[in-house]
Structure 1
C-alpha cells in the first residue's frame, strides 16, 4: 500500500492520544517531534545555528538545548519564532521526506502516519495522501496546555496563536477527529476512520486505481 496519513491538530488538541491509538491499530508512526529532537542534538549544525542566533542562554549545562528557555524567548516575539523556524523546519522536512520515501519504496502494505503538529505550517500536507486533524474547542485546548506544560494563561495563548488556527486546519482536513468528549469516544472515531481507510483501499485496489 505505502499509504501515508498526515496527522495534525493544534497544540494540546489530543493528537498524541490519536497517534497512540493508530499505533495500536498497526500504523507505522513517523513522529515529527521526535525528528525535531534529533536534529537539535549537541554537536550538530542546527544546534550551533540556534546558539549563534539566540545565545548560550538556550543551552543547558550539559550542552543540550534548553527548550523551556528557547520557548520563552521565541514565543514572546514572532520575529524570533520565525527565525527559529527558518533554522529547524528545513532540516525536519528533509528527514521526513527521507523516511516517507523509504516507506513508499519498501512495498510495505502497512499504513504510515506522519504525526506532525506543524504539518500545514511547514507545507508537509503535499507529502501525504490525506490529512486527519484532531479538533478541540479553544477553552479546552487552553486549559489542557496550561496544565500539561505548566504555563500561565498568557503564555499558553501565545503558543496557540503561534500556530495556524485550528479552525483553518479543520477546514483543510480530509478527515476530522473530534476530541472534545471522552478518550473512549475518540478511540471509536479513530477505529471507524481506520476501517474506512482500509475499505477505500480495497475498492481502489479492485478497480485498479
Structure 2
C-alpha cells in the first residue's frame, strides 16, 4: 500500500484535494481529527495539556477550548513547541496503527492522511509520497478570513506562524496550486491520483523509487 501525506498551509485547499482522492478509492485519514481526539477528556494528551496550560484552557464542561488554546500557541512559539512535541508522536502512532490494520486487510492500494504539519514535525520520511497544496498569499488570507471570521491581520499572523512555502517545496513530491478556479484544482487532483496509482503499482511490484529526484 502506498503511504501518502497530504499537507499544506492553512486554507490552501487540502480538503478539496482529499475529497477527490477519496472519491477515487483512496483511504482517507485525517491527522488533525486524530489530534482533536487526543485532546478530549480521557485522550492521551488531555491531562498533560491541562497540567501544562492550566485550567484556563478548559470550558465549564471540562473540555479543552480549542480556540482559547489556539490563541495561546499562536502568540507564544514556545507553547506551540510544547504542544507539538506532545501531540505529534501520538498522532504518528495512530497513523501507524491505522496503516497496519489497512495493510492487513488488503482493501486499499493508497492510504492518504491529511496532515497540515507533517513537514514541520519532521515526519516526511515516514511517507512514500508528500503532496503539498499551496496558493497565492493574498488568496490564502482571503480564504482564511472568510472561513474563520478573522481580520486580514489576524489571518496573516496565523499563516505566518507556519513554515513558509519555500521551505516546504523541496521536501514535497507533488505540488497542487489551488490559486485558480475550483475546476483547475479538481483537474490537478485527478492527475495526482493517476500518478499516485502508478506509484502504488510500482510499490506492489517492488520497483518503487521513493526519491523522485
Is this a same-fold pair by TM over 0.5?
A: yes
2:142 corresponds in structure 1 to 143
CA distance in 2, matches of 1:16, 1:159: 18
CA–CA distance in structure 2, aligned partners of residues 40 and 201 of structure 1: 34
Could you tell me whether the CA contact under 8 Å between 2:176 and 2:189 is conserved in 1?
A: yes
Q: CA deviation at 1:203?
A: 5.6
Question: TM-score normalised to the size of structure 2?
Answer: 0.89
Are 2:18 and 1:19 equivalent residues in the alignment? yes
What is the aligned partner in structure 1 of residue 61 from structure 2? Answer: 62
Residue 199 of structure 1 is matched in structure 2 by 198
Larger mean CA deviation between 90-99 and 73-82 belongs to 90-99
The number of residues matched between the two structures is: 207
Residue number in structure 1 paired with 2:37? 38
Equivalence for 2:210: none
Give secondary structure in 2 for the equivalent of 1:26.
Answer: coil
Query: Structure 1 110/63 Cα, relative in aligned 2: closer, same or farther at 3 Å?
Result: same
Question: Which residues of structure 1 form unaligned runs of 5+?
Answer: none
Greater Cα shift, 68-77 or 146-155 = 146-155
- How high is the TM-score relative to the length of structure 1? 0.91
Cα separation, 1, equivalents of 2:52 and 2:150: 25
Looking at structure 1, the residues matched to 47 and 74 of structure 2 have their Cα atoms a distance apart, in angstroms, of 20
Question: Contact between 1:3 and 1:104, CA under 8 Å: does it hold in 2?
Answer: no
Distance 2:200 2:47 in 1: 45
State the alpha-carbon separation in 1 of the partners of residues 202 and 81 from structure 2: 43
Match of 2:121 in 1: 122
Instruction: Tell me how far apart the structure 2 counterparts of residues 195 and 160 of structure 1 sit (CA, whole Å).
Output: 31
The question of 1:83 aligning with 2:74 is answered no
Tell me how far 1:107 sits from its aligned partner: 3.0
